[in-house]
Amino acid sequence: MASHTYELYFTGRDDPRDGCIIMGEDTKHIFFEFETSISDYMTNAQTTISSERKPVACFEWSMGGTQLGFATIGNRHFPMSNLVMPGSSASARQFCSVDGRHFEWRSCYDDPQSYDLFTYNVRIAVFRRYPQATPVGPSHGFMQYTLVHDIPLLEALMALSLNRWIDWGQRVP
């Protein structure tokens, strides 16, 4: 990875859709929170992704939160499946960023709960599930990355959340 590597810590609940707080710093303070609510007698579920306590994106789940639905980032509304399209191997899923770049999360062979993010075969981020104490409390994972653009970082975190949810048993909040 490039010489300017930044870190994010995953705190709160170890659930990629609900109660997960992601914080750290790159060129500025980073704080994301994933919160899922279910309404209408278990038929509608929505995950709100907030940055600094302000909503910036959401997942609208189908079938009461058990199936992929639609994602919204700003004024873009698209199928959630666009964030987890088939990748270069059975253990990889890709997405295309709003800036046209293609990214691919690849599950690590020796640790299927860890992922590497690539663009054009260059690794630009790693996510590791690693419980540890941090200055802000216990963390259940961390991400090292070189992305410093807001939207591609948000897209990468949303795609990572979906990959974790799909691979780790599709827990419904």
| Residues with Cβ within 8 Å of residue 122, at least 6 apart in sequence | none
Provide the pLDDT for residue 154: 97
pTM equals: 0.92
Q: Where are the domains of the chain?
A: 6-167
| pLDDT, the chain, mean | 90
Tell me the pLDDT band of 3, cut-offs 50, 70 and 90: low
